[in-house]
Amino acid sequence: MSFKNADEEFQTLAKELYEQHKTNLGLNVPPNRVIFLRSSKKKNAYAYCRRISGELTQLTDKWFFIVIINENYDPLTDIKKKYVILHELKHLFYDDEKEKTALLKHSIEGFADMLVNSNWNLDLIK
């Protein structure tokens, strides 16, 4: 499995989406704390995220990876691509008091606020 750094490609979009939706979607991890990667790994997802932990925290000031799966993400329309990035940003959480990161799991309650836009395709939720 190989990964390619995609920060240059995704940081601007992620920052725009974060600023636009941080309040209404409860986003609390700014994109500058995320490393965006691309992968051709066959996976039944458009993208996924992981925490940076252990000794990797000594190598970067970033808290998370968001990995974009080329074959699944690239054919999407622009609105669906935005939804995927927002969806992954919604998973990321930072607890200011404990100074700890966490990944939020999928839940209808937790992700229901993302479904207010009828242009977003419910099939994207996996």
Q: Is 86 within 8 Å of 25 (Cβ atoms)?
A: yes
- For residue 68, which amino acid is it? I
- 3-26 pLDDT, tens digit per residue, is 999 999 999 999 999 999 898 888
Write the DSSP assignment of 77-117 as a string of letters: -HHHHHHHHHHHHHHEEEETTTTEEEEPPP-HHHHGGGGGS
Which residues, listed in sequence order, are joined to residue 5 by a DSSP beta bridge?
A: 37
CATH number for the domain harbouring residue 87? 3.30.2010
Q: In the chain, how many domains are there? A: 1
Domain that holds residue 109: 3-124
Q: Is the pTM of this model over 0.75?
A: yes
**pLDDT at residue 66 is higher than 90:** yes
Q: Which of 57, 64, 77 is nearest to 104 (CA)?
A: 64
